[in-house]
Each structure stands twice: as C-alpha cells, then as structure tokens.
C-alpha cells in the first residue's frame, strides 16, 4: 500500500498585536527570529521554515538587527526561509479591496528585495474569506490559497477544492481543517508519539482528497522546534502507513496538483463557522476605529493620490516613500486582529495612534501639494488667489465651503473669465496679531501683499465648471466698489433635484425627498412634528414600508403606531441585528408586492421612468422616449428581471427569438442606442449597467 505523504510545515503564526501590544510582539520576535536563522543555518535537514507570510516581520526584526539582513537574504534565496506574499496578515471583509491589493503589492515588493516570495494566498487566521479574493490572487499571479476559517464539511467533504470568485476567477484552495496550530505540540516519547500520530494524522487523512496531507507544526508566536528533524525520523520508524517530511506550503500544493486535477468547486465568500470561530461581532466592535479606517481609506485613495498624480503631471515629484509609509500604517491596522478590534484596550490605543499618524501625514501631504500646484499656475502675478480642486471624473458646479484668511476690506472673487462669483461670509474672526507675526510662504523672496487687518473666515462660494480631475483658480480683488451683493428673500423654502426643505415657525424643518423612497424609519418622539403625524402625512401620498422606532413600549402605543399606518414597531433599546432583519423583511415584502402589482398592470416604474407594456410606451419625467420595438423589448426584459444579469446571447435569443452567433454584435449596437436615449432624459444617470465579461442588468 502506498504511504500517505505527511507534509510537516514548521511555522510561527505571528500576531503583531492582540491582547498584547505590538511592542511586546517585536521584543519577542527578536529572540525567536534569531533562533530560526541559527537553526536553519546549523541544520541542513531542517529544510524549511514559514515566517507567517508577512513581510512586516522582516521590517520589525531588521530595524533592530540590521546586521542579519544578509543571513535572511541567503536563506530566502535558498528557499529555506519562506516569506511573503503579504505585508501583514490582513482582514478581508472589514477593509477595502484597495487595501488588500496594496497589502499584497507592497508585501511582494518588499520580499523581492530578499528573494522569491511564496506565491500562495496564505491566510491562516482571517475571520472569513472574501468572494473577490480569487480575482485579486490571480491579478498577482497567485493560483492557490491556504486558509483555515470559513469552510465546513457542510459545503465540501475534502480539504482541497476549486474556489471560484465573483468574476469567475478560479484558484486551488486548501482549507486547514483543524487550525494552523493542529500539529504544534508533537510529543517526543515513543509511545505517546505513536498514539498521537495515529489519532491526529488519521483525522487529516479522512479529509484529504489525495495521498498528501498538510500538517502545520507551530502556533501563535511559536519558537522553532529545534529537534523537529529528529522527531520526524522517529515518526517514520514507528509509523508504517505514513511518510513524514519537513516541507513547505508550495511543495504541498504542487504535490496535490500532481496527483489530482479535478476538484469540487465552491463559489463566493466563506463565512461558515461550524468548526471554527468567525467572530462576526468584529464587524461592529470598536466602530470608532472602523469609521476612522473607512474615512482614511477613502481619503487616501480618492482624494490624496489623485491630487498627487495631478501634481506630478505638473512637474512636482511624486512622494512614493511617504505614500508607502502611510499605507504601511494602514496595513498594520488592517491585520485581522487589529481591525477586528478583538484586542485589549491598550492595543486599540496603538491602533488609534497609527490611524492618527496616517491621517496627519495624508492631510499635510495633500496641503503641501495643493500649495505647490497653486503657486505654479500662471496667474498674471495676481496677489491673492484661491484654487478649487475637483477630484471627480466629471465637471462640477458646486457651492464650496472653506476656511481661509481674508483682508479686512471689501473684495470680490472672480473666475478666469473675469466674472464675479457669489459668496457669503458665514463666520469671521479678527486674528491680525496672530497671523502677521508668523507669516509662512513657499517663496520668501517674493514680495507679497500684507494687509493691515486679517480675519479667519468661513466662506460659502458658488463655483461653476470645475474641470474633471483638475482645478480652477480664482482671484481676490481688493479695494473695489463692486463688492458682492447677496440677494435676500423671505422665502422659507429651498429646493433642488433631490430635496425640498421648508422652514417651520417653530424652528423645525420639513424635508421632502424627491427621489424614490424605499423605506422609512420613524421615531415617535420628534420635535415639531411627532412620528405619528409624519406617518399620517406619508400615508396620504405614499405606500412605502414604515417602521416605528420608539421608547414608548406600552401596548396602546404600539397599537396606535400600527393603526396610524406603520408596518412594524420596534421598541428601544433594540438589538441592531433584529432591526436589520426587520428592515430587510419589510423591503423584501414591499418589493414582492410591487413586482406583482406591476406585473398585473404591465407597468414597471424605475426611479422617474415608467415602462407601460400594454401601450408600448416609455416616459421619463413625463417625457416620452422614442424607442424602436427591439429597444423596448430589451428594456422590458431587463426591467422585469431587475438584479439579474442577462448575457448578450440570452438577450438576442429572447428578443430576436433566433439562434445567437458568436460574431453577432447586434445586441451591443441596440444597447448603445437604448442607453443614449434613456440617459438623455436621466441627466446622464445610468439605468442599464454592464457587468464586464458577463452581460447587462438593471439594479434592484
């Protein structure tokens, strides 16, 4: 009988912080990492050691022991010390996709300085696996993944399977069935070792789909097992059914692939917690830190880096190393324990400090480059300018609110065409003494205007035609008789495309949402107009689901709320999960009923668009859209199946009722014309969305 090959993979799972702080982790890393280097150099039969796939551990260690860099490089290049591909052992579900991608990018980049990193998506302790990971892995040339949490025997009966991502990308996945610490305490006594191997390896063999099993030797912050080669030699002597060998993850996966090429296929995210803890409570724990993370990720990705790119295009140096340091601070906090906030309060203080550092670096870097751009713009030597930036990919017309310094005299603000712009000074404070004693400027040799009086002011300014991913520079003109005059009105209402707001005599505001409302959550005890009265008024015009949320817990209160028109009633204090479930149930019921009603009268309503099947007519804001018969059929097909993606082939065969041929681009042409006609009346808003590589859909 062929022996089962047991791939014993020595490793140390290194949480950089948890109930202990990063400082403690770094101190112990000094000792353990040094021992790893010593043993690998002394014992050739100790073939491999996996350093938890985190390049950050290299940086932590070498900061205090830079003399060992050449030793690490030598062992990595000889594939004795296995590093990468991550920078830190990242979470996958709380942070952004951009953070995950940058984590891999910077991790691989750092590892490449030492040698070839491991090309396996190794995440031994992440609390669930994101559905986008196969796509991300494939983007980095990684075609396999090894993880613990999220998959149970309810989903697949083997440890090896094909994982299909949301976009169709596939990787070979291996689930660690009993955790990364399963083989962390191998006994050394002969009798104990024999019983231990029989039990523990037997359980692994049941789960394996090939004649290879993955046997991790290590645990949290585990020191290297110095005599592991001797123990495995003894294991091979007493176990006739299995062959034990020090291996690494890539060798194990290669062995699996060489033996088998067909596996069960699973798709999507993995959050099954049958045999391991997923810790779903981490999604809401320490929400203050998670909010900071989300705001910073958005700021860095959508504000800072686009503006730095703009600055670079104008000849300024791109600060790569600063950006790398900012992202590394984010990666340290993106680690599964850190962002999960299943930490001690002391550790969470460190997490906050890193966010603060990343935030301060980002804000000041943005400020510097906005100043650099502003001073480089040719402005005919105008003394005082204001540069307004637009980070969106579209022209913007906005009322911009900003804090600035203004001179203590009349002025106007003009655009590049010399047109005077409307503005309002909302607040101002005299800071003359403060500001004139500490002038800071980028060009000290240039003569500048120094006013007699300076105010710190908050200004609301109406700016038009700000170019996409660009800027417009405005000019302050002093000593003018044409200062901006603001028209005043006694009107108590303001209105735009989305809202109509009315000011009441008691100081409260009535806000009418002009866009489609799907559900309303009302508190009964509200100032000015209570929730019951709001519910009555809404019910006069709308049939949307209404949920009452109130501290009034008496039965009559609940009855009154329901009788007024509410569909459900939840008492305070409430369980957030219960509230979420109730809202989803109301939306599901409303969607079902709305769909049935629309089907009965052959009318479909999507935002401001009405599709009338019986009249073969489409209107948007009372404007009739002229569609051909084919265009109408395509639109009706997608609208009556909202949320479903139709391929080009399906659309052609359902609308044209003919067999589809691969070279046929008829659907694409009709879809382009249909979109142009719809978006003409939707102010450019998209109704039909492209799912790249799949087809077309209309969102629910």
**Of 109, 10, 125, nearest to 56 (Cα)?**
109
For residues 215 and 201, the answer to whether their CB atoms sit within 8 Å is yes
Name which of 93, 267, 101 is nearest 168 in CA terms.
267
Q: Which residues contact 646 (CB under 8 A, 6 or more apart)?
A: 637, 638, 654, 695, 696, 697
- Give the three-state DSSP class for 587: helix
Q: How far apart are CA 180 and CA 176, in angstroms?
A: 7
Structure-block tokens of residue 142:
């990684």
d(Cα 372, Cα 441) in Å, to the nearest integer?
11
The alpha carbon of residue 453 and the mean position of all alpha carbons in its chain are separated, in whole angstroms, by 46
Q: How far apart are CA 477 and CA 414, in angstroms?
A: 8
427 phi/psi in degrees, rounded to 5: -145, 150
Longest dimension (CA), the chain: 101
Tally helices (H) and strands (E) across the chain.
20, 28
Give the span between the Cα atoms of 54 and 108, in whole angstroms. 10
How does strand 384-390 pair with strand 470-478? antiparallel
List beta partners, residue 470. 390
- Helices marked H in 453-554: 531-541
Distances in whole angstroms, Cα of residue 472 to Cα of each of 127, 312, 469: 46, 17, 11
Region of residue 371 (phi > 0: left; psi between -120 and 50: alpha; otherwise: beta):
alpha
**531 near 525, Cβ under 8 Å?**
yes
Please say if 125 is a catalytic residue: yes
DSSP state of 191: H
Catalytic residue among 125, 239, 248, 567: 125
Backbone angles phi, psi at 588, to 5 degrees: -65, -45
Give the C-alpha separation, 692 to 167, whole Å. Answer: 9
Q: Per DSSP, what are the bridge partners of residue 456? A: 405, 429
Distances (CA, A) of 328 to 18, 86, 102, 295: 18, 11, 9, 16
The length of the chain in residues reads 700
Q: Residues with catalytic annotation? A: 125
């Amino acid at each position: 009988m062929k022996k089962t090959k047991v791939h014993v993979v020595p490793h140390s799972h290194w949480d950089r912080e948890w109930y202990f702080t990063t400082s403690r982790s770094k101190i112990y890393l000094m000792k353990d990492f040094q021992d790893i280097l010593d043993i690998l150099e002394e014992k050739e039969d100790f073939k491999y050691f996996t350093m938890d796939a985190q390049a950050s551990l290299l940086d932590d260690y070498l900061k205090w022991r830079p003399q060992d860099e050449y030793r690490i490089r030598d062992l990595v290049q000889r594939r004795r010390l296995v590093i990468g591909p991550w920078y830190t052992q990242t979470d996958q579900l709380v942070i952004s996709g951009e953070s995950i991608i940058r984590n891999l990018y910077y991790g691989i980049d750092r590892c490449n300085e030492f040698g070839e990193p491991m090309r396996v998506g190794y995440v031994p302790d992440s609390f669930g696996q994101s559905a986008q990971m196969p796509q991300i892995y494939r983007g980095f040339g990684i075609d396999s993944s090894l993880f613990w949490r999220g998959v149970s025997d309810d989903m697949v009966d083997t440890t090896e399977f094909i994982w299909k991502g949301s976009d169709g990308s596939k990787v070979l996945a291996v689930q660690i069935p009993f955790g990364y610490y399963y083989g962390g305490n191998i006994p050394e006594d002969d009798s104990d070792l024999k019983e231990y191997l029989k039990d523990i390896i037997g359980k692994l063999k049941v789960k394996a789909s090939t004649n290879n099993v993955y046997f991790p030797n290590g645990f949290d912050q585990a020191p290297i097992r110095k005599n592991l080669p001797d123990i495995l030699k003894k294991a091979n002597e007493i176990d006739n059914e299995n062959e034990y060998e020090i291996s690494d993850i890539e060798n194990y996966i290669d062995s699996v692939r060489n033996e088998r090429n067909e596996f069960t296929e699973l798709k999507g995210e993995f959050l099954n917690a049958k045999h391991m803890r997923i810790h779903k409570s981490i999604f809401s724990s320490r929400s203050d830190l998670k909010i900071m993370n989300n705001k910073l990720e958005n700021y860095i990705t959508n504000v800072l880096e686009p503006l730095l790119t703009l600055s670079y295009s104008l000849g300024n140096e791109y600060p790569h190393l600063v950006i790398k340091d900012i992202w590394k601070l984010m990666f340290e906090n993106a680690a599964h324990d850190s962002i999960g906030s299943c930490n001690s309060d002391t550790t969470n203080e460190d997490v906050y400090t890193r966010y603060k550092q990343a935030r301060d670096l980002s804000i000041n870097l943005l400020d510097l480059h906005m100043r650099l751009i502003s001073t480089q713009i040719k402005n005919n030597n105008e003394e005082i300018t204001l540069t307004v930036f637009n980070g969106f990919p579209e022209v913007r017309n906005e009322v911009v609110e900003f804090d600035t310094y203004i001179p203590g005299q009349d002025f106007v603000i003009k655009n590049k065409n010399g047109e005077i712009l409307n503005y309002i000074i909302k607040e101002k404070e005299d800071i003359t003494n403060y500001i004139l004693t500490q002038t800071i400027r980028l060009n000290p040799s240039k003569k500048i205007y120094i006013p007699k009086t300076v105010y710190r002011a908050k200004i609301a300014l109406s700016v038009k035609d700000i170019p996409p991913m660009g800027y417009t520079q405005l000019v302050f003109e002093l000593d003018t008789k044409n200062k901006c005059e603001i028209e005043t009105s006694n009107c108590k209402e303001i209105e735009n495309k989305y809202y109509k707001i009315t000011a009441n005599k008691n100081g409260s505001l009535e806000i009418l949402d002009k866009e489609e409302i799907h559900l309303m959550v009302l508190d009964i005890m509200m100032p000015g107009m209570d929730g019951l009265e709001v519910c009555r008024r809404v019910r006069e015009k709308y049939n949307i689901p209404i949920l009452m949320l109130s501290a009034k817990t008496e039965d009559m209160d609940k009855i009154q709320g329901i009788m007024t028109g509410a569909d459900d009633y939840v008492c305070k204090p409430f369980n957030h999960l219960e509230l979420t479930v109730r809202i989803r149930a109301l939306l599901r019921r409303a969607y079902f009923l709305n769909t049935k009603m629309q089907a009965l009268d052959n009318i479909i309503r999507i935002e401001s668009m009405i599709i009338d099947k019986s009249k073969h007519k489409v209107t948007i804001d009372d404007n009739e859209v002229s569609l051909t018969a084919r265009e109408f059929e395509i639109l009706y097909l997608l609208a009556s199946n909202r949320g479903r993606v139709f391929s080009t082939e399906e659309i052609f065969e359902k609308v044209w009722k003919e067999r589809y041929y691969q070279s046929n681009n008829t659907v694409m042409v009709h879809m382009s014309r249909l979109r142009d006609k719809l978006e003409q009346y939707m102010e450019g808003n998209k109704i039909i969305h492209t799912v790249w590589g799949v087809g077309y859909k209309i969102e629910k």
